[in-house]
Structure 1
Amino acid sequence: MNKFMFTALISLFSITAFAQECSADLSRSAANSRYINFDNGTVADNLTGLTWMRCPLGKQWNNISQECEGSTETYFWQSALTMIASINDANGNHQLHEFAGIKKWRMPNIKELMSLKERACYSPAVNTKAFGKAFDYEVGDLAGYIWSNTPSNNGNEVYSFDTPNGEVLSYNPAQHKLSVLLVAE
């Protein structure tokens, strides 16, 4: 019986670790009304005019459950750029080529990523209706950190967006593997 209780408690903690928490005292910075969710796995941001894939590379949008499924793929920064070039290559046969009818996907800059921040929430600090279970990671799991195309001020690192807390962090692009979320105009 004790083994059962221990297992039940561990399961409960692992479930609650991924539940988004929001403050009722703060107004929403990325409210549901800001986004137009499409069944094709994209979301349009009315504030910025950008279209985002709803899931990072490796995960797929499930329109029935309204969430991302699968495992996020992480990349070194240069490998991520190569993957994006492969996705956009008209002569290639990448499964995401012209995803949702969009011909050119790209890596977002850090300002675009920060525009996704929901300041009233954390774990994740993004709108979960727009990006359902896309970023259900704990702090420290680099799959929850998204590469930007913006080099840091020191020139040796690249900025990333920390989805659990909504922070900007910089990492060495050749030493860390992070997730990739694509955007289009």
Structure 2
Amino acid sequence: MKHVATLGALALCLLSPSALAELPYQIVDTNQTSAYGQGLGQDAHFVGASPTYRDNDDGTVSDTVTALMWTQDPGEKITYAEAVKRASSLRTGGYNDWRLPTIKELYSLIQLNGVDPDPKANSSANLRPFIDDSVFAFAYGDVSKGERIIDAQYVSATQYVSTTMNQNDTVFGVNFADGRIKGYPIKNRRGEKTFFALYVRGNPEYGQNQFVDNQDGTITDEATGLTWMKADSGQGMDWPDALAYAGSATFAGHSDWRLPNAKELQSIIDYSRSPDTTDSAAIDPLFESTAIANEAGQKDFAHYWTNTTHVSTRSNRAATYFAFGRSLGWMGRDGQKQLMDVHGAGSQRSDPKTGDPAKLPFGRGPQGDVVRINNLVRLVRGGAVEPVDAPIVEQSARQRRAPPGEGSEARPQRRARSQ
């Protein structure tokens, strides 16, 4: 349980309860309650609107923070086309206005206290998914059918405005097994990809930003109550330096700037933009975004750190970032490593918090995700958060079990079943 404490420079200007109640785009807390190592300004040092769900006992779940209602059970995996078609005929709970969620609606359900499995694992023991499986039906990939444990991708209605892999049409989804957003080819040479699908209704304004330029180098999103620096850091830094950069920042008359958590940073992504289609970062042009030369020497845009640790069974030494430019990976083709946009601008992945990226020249993971480590920073302040103390978990090179309070306890799991 997060508890209030005096953290000096982390003191924040909070929204009043009445203002909070009026926000159409209320950001749900990540539910990450442990800090990893001694650095201040981590996700666990700030508490926001805690995830709160109501099981309606009719196959639906109400999120009392976002005012969104969800179907409870994704059923069997289906293709993107089938998921889109199903929405119009769905009558769960007696409602007929279900829709396939946008990527911002779907990401509202993520809880970053999950534990990312080893992609080669064949057991889900000691894991915790990145969604509340005491409320929603959830299942890891079915190893008996040749799937990986991590094959629990949930599809959204948000298609990537460019293409990924080998010029494949792509749709964004959230993987609630490994805690990432990726763009997935709708169809490739092996056929159409299948996904789990949850449906949503209510609050049509959720995920729609209302940016106001304050003419002082800051931009306020009146939909979320967050105020952002208009410019980014201009240069990359590792994660400890990013936390320190945020902790020492004084700008526009305020000293309560912080590194955003994953859900806060995702809220300002503009999924209608990409380097290949708008020659820009995936963000509203009100913001200033530093252009970079990527690993192929192309004009591109950066990865941006969050203050959220990405915990896996192997380590807690990685942190979450978002790609505001191409989400590159080194893929094997004809015996050669080829660099390509594997997951799309707006994806969420993770990098080691420190280290030398030159030691991983062909990336890491199944898609060879490029490793930069020295990522850019865009700071935020305000919103419905308060500073807290948090239990500290020692940073480990290898972690087989989740830390206390972060998923090591046994929990009942609702299994996905046919709808």
Once residues 41 and 125 of structure 1 are traced to their aligned partners in structure 2, the CA distance between those partners, rounded to angstroms, is 19
Report how far residue 45 of structure 1 moved.
Answer: 0.5
User: How far is 1:143 from its partner?
Assistant: 6.5
How many equivalent residue pairs? 132
- Once the two structures are TM-superposed, the CA of residue 110 in structure 1 deviates from its matched residue by 0.6
Given that 1:55 and 1:131 are in contact with CA atoms closer than 8 Å, whether structure 2 keeps it comes out as: yes
Change (3 A) 1:117 1:139: farther
1:30–1:126 CA contact under 8 A, matched in 2: no
Superposition pairs of residues 103-182 of structure 1, within 5 angstroms: 103-123=255-275, 124-128=281-285, 130-132=286-288, 134-137=289-292, 144-154=302-312, 155-164=316-325, 165-175=345-355, 176-182=373-379
Cα distance in 2, alignment partners of residues 77 and 103 from structure 1: 20
Q: How does 1:13-28 map to 2 (within 5 A)?
A: none
Closer, same or farther: CA 163–51 of 1 in aligned 2, 3 Å: same
Aligned equivalents of 2:294, 2:208: Cα separation in 1: 21
Distance 1:168 1:38 in 2: 28
Indicate the residue corresponding to 1:63 in structure 2.
none
2:208, 2:292 → 1: CA distance?
19
1:85 maps to which residue? 247
Letter paired with 1:126? I
TM-aligned CA deviation for residue 74 of structure 1:
1.0
Secondary structure of 1:104's match? Answer: coil
Q: In 2, Cα distance between the equivalents of 1:142 and 1:179?
A: 13
Q: Which residue of 2 aligns with 1:73?
A: 235
Q: Structure 1 54/122 Cα, relative in aligned 2: closer, same or farther at 3 Å?
A: same
Give the SS at the match of 1:101: coil
CA distance in 2 between counterparts of 1:183 and 1:30 reads: 18
CA gap 1:138/1:111 in 2 versus in 1, 3 angstroms: farther
- How far apart are residue 161 of structure 1 and its match? 1.0
Percentage identity across aligned positions? 27
CA shift for structure 1 position 144? 0.8
Question: Which structure is larger by alpha-carbon Rg, 1 or 2?
Answer: 2
Among 208, 212, 217, which residue is 1:36 paired with?
212
Code of the residue aligned with 2:291 in structure 1: it is D
Listed one character per residue, the Cα deviations across residues 70-95 of structure 1 (whole Å, up to 9, x for unaligned) are xx1211100111222222xxxxxxxx
SS at match of 1:121: coil
Distance 1:180 1:44 in 2: 17
Where is the helix percentage greater, Structure 1 or Structure 2?
1
Structure 2 regions of 5+ residues with no counterpart?
1-160, 163-206, 276-280, 326-344, 356-372, 383-419
Give the SS at the match of 1:160.
Answer: strand
> What does residue 51 of structure 1 align with?
227
Q: Could you tell me how far apart the structure 2 residues matched to 1:101 and 1:108 are?
A: 19
Residues 51 and 180 of structure 1: CA distance in aligned 2, closer, same or farther (over 3 Å): same
The DSSP-based 3-state class of the residue aligned with 1:100 is coil
Distance 1:139 1:48, change over 3 A: farther
Distance 1:115 1:153 in 2: 22
Q: TM (normalized to structure 1)? A: 0.64
Instruction: Indicate how the Cα distance of structure 1 residues 110 and 139 shifts in structure 2: closer, same or farther if over 3 A, else same.
Output: farther
Aligned partner of 1:11 in structure 2 is: none
Amino acid at match of 1:118: D
Write the deviation string for residues 80-134 of structure 1: whole angstroms up to 9, x where unpaired: 11222222xxxxxxxxx2x112230000001011101111111211111x213x1
| TM score, norm. by length of structure 2 | 0.29
CA separation of 1:137 and 1:166: change in aligned 2, threshold 3 A? farther
User: How has the CA–CA distance of structure 1 residues 73 and 137 changed in structure 2, closer, same or farther, with 3 Å as cutoff?
Assistant: closer
Any gaps of 5 or more consecutive residues in structure 1?
1-21, 24-28, 58-71, 88-96
Deviation, 1:142, is 9.0
- The letter for the 1-side match of 2:283 is V
Q: What is the distance in 2 between the residues matched to 1:172 and 1:105?
A: 23
